Amino acid sequence: MPTDIPSPEGDAAREQASYREHLGAELDAFLSEQQAVLQEVSMESLPLLDAVSALAQGGKRLRALLNYWGWRGAGGAELGLPAVRSGVALELFQSAALIHDDIIDRSDTRRGGPSVHRRFSTAHSDASWHLDGTHFGSSAAILAGDLCLSLSEEMFAAVGAQAAHGTPARRIFNRMRTEVMAGQYLDILEEVVGPTHEPERAVVRARNILRYKSAKYTTEHPLTLGGALAGATTELLDWYSRFALPLGEAFQLRDDVLGVFGDPAQTGKPAGDDLREGKRTVLVAYTLALGGPSAQEAVASGLGREDLDDDGVARLRTLMEDSGALAATETLIEGHTHAAFDALDQMPVDDVTRAALRSLAHAAVTRTA
Amino acid sequence: MPTDIPSPEGDAAREQASYREHLGAELDAFLSEQQAVLQEVSMESLPLLDAVSALAQGGKRLRALLNYWGWRGAGGAELGLPAVRSGVALELFQSAALIHDDIIDRSDTRRGGPSVHRRFSTAHSDASWHLDGTHFGSSAAILAGDLCLSLSEEMFAAVGAQAAHGTPARRIFNRMRTEVMAGQYLDILEEVVGPTHEPERAVVRARNILRYKSAKYTTEHPLTLGGALAGATTELLDWYSRFALPLGEAFQLRDDVLGVFGDPAQTGKPAGDDLREGKRTVLVAYTLALGGPSAQEAVASGLGREDLDDDGVARLRTLMEDSGALAATETLIEGHTHAAFDALDQMPVDDVTRAALRSLAHAAVTRTA
């Protein structure tokens, strides 16, 4: 539609574009300040911050945007500084999580470039440095992630009194971090415990991991955080959760399906990479629960094998389809999506906020990459 | 001396013992709260917090104690809650740094027990889990360190308005974290760049690393942080730095010497472990700078070799003595120690604080383990 005809959708898009600009400017200014701190230590320490900057300046900004509309829906001022700063804090937290996640998952790429540990191991080999370049890469990435995590919090503290100890927003921020780390631990535990461990409970465990590792912190916590910063009522925060939690679950389930069945040309990841990494998704859990002993055996022997070839990938895919696991996952996605949009329709927010959230939700659950 | 005769030393010791109790109780209460959060996620996530707790409940508490006397010296109330909480935050930060440091240094032991990554890799092999147990161990330790780092900050935010954005204490806390991470990065960079890189500048680089990675955050930042929380004047904070920075440098230099020449029965570490780990200390830097090309060659071929035998260790020790590197390091320790005690004598603080700081400083620089 032409942008000069007023509509909630058009207003939301324009405002969101302005917020993105403010977010980017605040992030850049903050990173420049940090650069000065590192320069005082030594010019040679700058690559640590460069790695953080390169990563943090990319991404879809889903968390920051949800946080912003949570703020706006609760009556926060247009482009208010607290919502800009909490958005930067959330994006930095996400970057920190990705840096460490990529070490844990041994992922070589991220946001279209090398992952941070690969960036440092490549610098090592380019310069023909000594000792183990892979270990140097993950060591430097551990430190880059730590720096990024600290900066996330430093920025959150800069939100001010609304984010101080004991405030609703601070409680959400604290809980988010602890839950994500606990969820990630459950995720790596699930991988090593193996696919044959209590397959009948695999779906329950996988859905719990998905909830804490991904869903809550991708959608629910950002939205409620923004709301809490603007002084949202408990009732409104409940509405936010009723919308955002199923949305986050649908989002991550879609991600899991794309990781196995997605088009590599669109996802940017080689087909079957999630299977080679051994990701224990809800899709895999359904395969274990519905496919019986033969499926459990096939998953146990194929999942997590770095040398899994195209035939192996194809066999696991067929198994996921034939066992009904793919269909069960799609049903789950559909149910969550329905619940999310249903809550959004009834949520007591203004039309511009609702339009913005609808657009973000739509992009989250219908994506192909 | 008998404890019933009043003296600054006796008063300091009694007060410090009470502070330790408060510190321990606050830490325990906080970890219990966190346990409840993790239990909500899943009982299976508790080992992550257990690992943090086991580590955080040990240690000499040097940082917390310096922070406390910084607070007291600036007029803070006896056993004041802000100083208790900032002490807990500092100890948690130190624990987080150790967890990640031990992954980076591949250290198997810490504070008399297994390091966190070893704890998890042992759990993996005890339970005969699948996939790579070493990778599981370091992945879980990355997450445990992240959790610990987040908890450190959560506790610091709980100090309240004195630790809010823009306050002197918050600035110190923020800078401490960034500097430590930058210093650690320089440290691993120094290792991979190798001993033959600009040996004439090795001492300058090693002293810079020591300053940022260790000295500032072991002594200067804790002391000034406590002072800033109590509203210390800039003049007093300067005195704190003039005392604590050289103290921290002497402390770390002593650590470096003990790492090579210490008695394993007292240090609890096998002789030569620092050499096998390839630590690029000021002692090593002096050896490179003073020993000439033959020393550089010997260091290059021996340092960082995991299979370095007792003869190899003995050869490097002899080289450090003969090149004058050990003597130069001892001279540096002596100079720093002198500067620290000199500043302490003139520092405008009460007698109890001065006695407490003298006792802590004495323990830090004369230790044998």
Q: State whether residue A161 sits within 8 Å of chain B by CB.
A: yes
β-strands A109-110, A113-114: how paired? antiparallel
Rounded CA-CA distance A260/A38 in Å is: 41
Short-list A84, A65, A94, CA closest to A247:
A65
In a domain, A3, yes or no: no
In a domain, B199, yes or no: yes
Q: What amino acid is encoded at B35 in this protein?
A: Q
Q: State whether residue A168 sits within 8 Å of chain B by CB.
A: no
CATH code for the domain of A130: 1.10.600.10
Q: How confident is the model at residue B343 (pLDDT cuts 50, 70, 90)?
A: very high
Q: What is the pLDDT of residues A305-353, one digit of tens each?
A: 888 999 999 999 999 999 999 999 999 999 999 999 999 999 999 999 9
pLDDT of residue B3: 53
DSSP string for A77-100: PTT-HHHHHHHHHHHHHHHHHHHH
In a domain, B2, yes or no: no
Rounded CA-CA distance A244/A219 in Å is: 5
B185 closest CB neighbour out of A96, A140, A192: A140
Phi, psi of A212 (to 5 degrees): -85, -35
Q: What is the pLDDT of residues A249-265, one digit of tens each?
A: 999 999 999 999 988 88
What ipTM was assigned to the predicted interfaces of this complex? Answer: 0.95
Structure tokens at B209: 């690393």
In a domain, B176, yes or no: yes
Q: Whats the size of chain A, residue-wise?
A: 369
In a domain, B1, yes or no: no
State which residue of chain B sits closest to A195, comparing Cα positions.
B130
In a domain, B3, yes or no: no
Q: What is the pLDDT of residues B71-94, one digit of tens each?
A: 999 999 999 999 999 999 999 999
Smallest CA–CA distance, residue A138 to chain B, in Å, is 8
Structural domain of residue B174, as residue ranges?
Answer: 8-366
In a domain, B360, yes or no: yes
**What is the mean pLDDT of the segment spanning B108-115?**
89
Rounded CA-CA distance A219/B107 in Å is: 38
pLDDT of residue B172: 98
Query: How many independent structural domains does chain B possess?
Result: 1
Residue A1 has pLDDT above 60, yes or no: no
Is B159 in Cβ contact with A164 (below 8 Å)?
A: no
Q: State whether residue A104 sits within 8 Å of chain B by CB.
A: yes
Chain A to chain B Cβ contacts (< 8 Å): 184
Is A177 in Cβ contact with B165 (below 8 Å)?
A: no
Q: Which residue has the higher pLDDT, B271 or B281?
A: B281
pLDDT of residue A266: 80
Q: State whether residue A153 sits within 8 Å of chain B by CB.
A: yes
Interface test with A, best of B172, B189, B205, B276 (most A CBs within 10 A): B189
Short-list B348, B38, B65, B86, CA closest to A212:
B38
Q: What is the pLDDT of residues A37-86, one digit of tens each?
A: 999 999 999 999 999 999 998 889 999 999 999 999 999 999 999 999 99
Whether B16 contacts B362, CB under 8 Å: no
pLDDT of residue A272: 82
Smallest CA–CA distance, residue A276 to chain B, in Å, is 12
Residue numbers in A near B154 (CB within 8 A): 174, 177
Q: How confident is the model at residue A2 (pLDDT cuts 50, 70, 90)?
A: low
pLDDT of residue B357: 98
Whether B278 contacts B188, CB under 8 Å: no
Residue B1 has pLDDT above 70, yes or no: no
Smallest CA–CA distance, residue B330 to chain A, in Å, is 25
Distances in Å between the Cα of A100 and the Cα atoms of A47, A164, B52 are 17, 27, 18
Q: What is the pLDDT of residues A17-27, one digit of tens each?
A: 999 999 999 99
Question: Considering only A232-246, B190-204, B325-339, B341-355, which range has the smallest mean pLDDT?
Answer: B190-204
Q: What is the pLDDT of residues A147-202, one digit of tens each?
A: 999 999 999 999 999 999 999 999 999 999 999 999 999 999 999 998 888 988 99
In a domain, A29, yes or no: yes
